[in-house]
Structure 1
């Protein structure tokens, strides 16, 4: 799997609480086209974003897809409303098979380029059974490459014993590094490691103005000033230096932010700056 170092996470192009259609459909379509024109070659979505509306928006904006563009989607979560409490993980073989085939239909493709198991925490099937279902779908030509999302290191290793894993996505950024073992394992295996919320200065559910994130921002600001960059660009540049396997997928509804994120690839941090950030 090859792609430029920064992709685009499309989850924000949904309604409030990631429920329903993006309020300004025409603006969403325009943004997706501009994202591709700006140089992004990986767009990340999931059937649960909307649900379904995000995949349909991507198809309307970009189909037929340019040859260089990879659309990654996911299956294994369901939700019945915008609240977090309405989300559940499902992994039954027939459900996952239906999910993948319906995602392909919504995206307008015969084969999905990269398909993630969205969660390793489903209780209606063993993790090995779920990975086996994706292996079946790959052998049948429904999906080309298999990825894992929200899994443990042990689950990654169990999956690798069943089928080749091309990508792993997890929450990882300057502040939240608890998935470092997953990054190391992905790098060793030759898989792509895809951090979500890569420019967030917090852990999931933590406000960015609490003591820890605020201290990190204060530490990054002088580095950003020396570099003539933004704090977000410095955070992305640090991520890109962690491993050649890292491919962040920052999400935004602003073209200016998309371009800012892509420009982070040109920020070259010194060894001292990298060490200072790593030591935070």
Structure 2
């Protein structure tokens, strides 16, 4: 079961809604709990109410506001499911992604997925597809080897996307 915001993370407490779900879990009606579109503060609040198994937020090469949260969740064995894992790239970012893809002789989206798979062991990817060709590109990402130089170039795509601490 997931407590989800409508249009991205919004500040505020989720204690009432999440508390109701935790009660349903205690009654045996829900097995696992997670949150979606949650701020880091909301994730902390939810974890104080009941254990969560996953967080689902927007995250990809270009939109990396959750870098610190992903690392914290990985250390605690909590899954992170990025939604929109292949979207939101500007033309400049796309050209950097395309350059790495050209060197590897593969599709840019395969490279974007390969980067996500290497980002953290707790990332679970669900890249949608509408065709067999896109499915092949998605699967190819799992088999790509990215060099340290490739990773450094791809990491630059998200520079400036994470909030300053």
TM normalised by structure 2 equals 0.85
Structure 1's consecutive aligned runs of 4 or more residues displaced over 6 angstroms after TM superposition are none
1:224 CA displacement:
0.8
Distance 1:214 1:122, change over 3 A: closer
> In angstroms, what is the RMSD of aligned CA positions?
1.8
1:140 CA displacement:
2.3
Using the alignment, how far apart are the partners of 1:122 and 1:269 within structure 2? 37
Deviations 1:188-241 (A, max 9, x none): 2211111111011x2xxxxx5xxxx10111111121122221100101111111
Is the partner of 2:128 in helix, strand or coil? coil
1:244 CA displacement:
0.4
| Match status 1:218 vs 2:104 | no
Tell me the residue number matched to 2:26. 139
Is the partner of 1:117 in helix, strand or coil? strand
Structure showing the higher strand proportion among its residues: 1
Is the partner of 2:49 in helix, strand or coil? coil
Using the alignment, how far apart are the partners of 2:130 and 2:32 within structure 1? 28
1:172 CA displacement:
0.7
Which runs of 5 or more structure 1 residues have no equivalent in the other structure?
1-114, 203-207
Is the partner of 1:144 in helix, strand or coil? coil
| Match status 1:257 vs 2:134 | yes
The more displaced of 249-258 and 270-279 is 249-258
| Match status 1:277 vs 2:154 | yes
Distance 1:257 1:155, change over 3 A: same
Is the partner of 1:129 in helix, strand or coil? helix
| Match status 1:230 vs 2:117 | no
TM normalised by structure 1 equals 0.52
Which runs of 5 or more structure 2 residues have no equivalent in the other structure?
158-165
Higher relative contact order (CA 8 A, sep 6+): 2
Is the partner of 1:245 in helix, strand or coil? coil
Distance 1:142 1:249, change over 3 A: same
| Match status 1:152 vs 2:152 | no
1:259 CA displacement:
3.0
Number of corresponding residues: 154
Structure showing the higher helix proportion among its residues: 2
